[in-house]
Amino acid sequence: MTKRWIYLTALFVAFTLRASPPVGAVVQDSHYDAAKQIITFNLLNTSHKDISAYSMRVLVRHPDGTVGTWEYGGDFLPHMIDTGSGAFAAGSVFTVDVPVGEQQVQSASALVDVVVYADDSADVLNESVFEYIASARKGRVVGLQKANELLQAALADPDDPHPSITVAAKLKALAKQYETSPPKGYEDAGLGLLDAATNISNAPKSPTGRRDKEDAYLQALIKRHQEHIALMLPHAQLTKGVTP
């Protein structure tokens, strides 16, 4: 297939939110690659602060007249906590590749409608997405807290042959249960549960039974979870700045 580039219209042309207050990031430029079936958006951080999460509303028009629109974004906070870096820095450009599938694209545009800053303030033009970001961050914390609770109980049980296997299985079962019927406060805990389950599954295990290496790994993981909880929890309390 011959590569075909369609340069896209500016950010505010395709949206009726043109008169909305500006947020701290804009789409600087973008293009469509038919061969790779992606639209690449280059976002510019126009604020004086680092950005820890964003979301944008993408609108795509197809040659057959149909229109698709959806939200696309990301939260850099987990990576920022893991590495101490990774924020969308003030004045920098962040490239986002949005998959669009096999259907051809006639034109496309995007509007950044939520920006969350590293200082936990936020510009909000889409309330539901903002609430989801805050809820997902709280869910990660709750998931890690639940993982630690189960780990401590399993480690305290001398008859448990492999605490890592026991807890990972319980966390995966809880994540599946929470998809359909989460208890109050656990609505978005599934991702945190699954992340913890993956790390717990990596514990060294002896085929002959429980060994000190497995316990030591899990004890260290509990401590790491506690550190992540302490770092992440303040960033789940967000303050809205710009609103419609």
The 10s digit of each residue's pLDDT in 181-239 is 888 777 888 888 999 999 999 999 999 999 999 999 999 999 999 999 999 999 999 99
Tell me, what DSSP letter sits at residue 35? T
Architecture of domain 5-125: Sandwich (2.60)
Q: How far is CA 106 from CA 12, 21, 56, 99, 220, in A?
A: 17, 28, 19, 15, 53
pLDDT (tens digit per residue) in 38-83: 999 999 999 999 999 999 999 999 999 999 999 999 999 999 998 8
Nearest to 203 by CA among 193, 218, 192: 218
Q: Which two tokens stand for residue 226?
A: 């506690």
Q: How many CB atoms lie within 10 A of CB 173?
A: 12
Q: How far is CA 216 from CA 63, 146, 212, 213, 220, in A?
A: 59, 19, 6, 5, 6
Q: Where are the domains of the chain?
A: 5-125, 131-235
Nearest to 62 by CA among 115, 5, 100: 100
Beta bridge partners of 98: 39
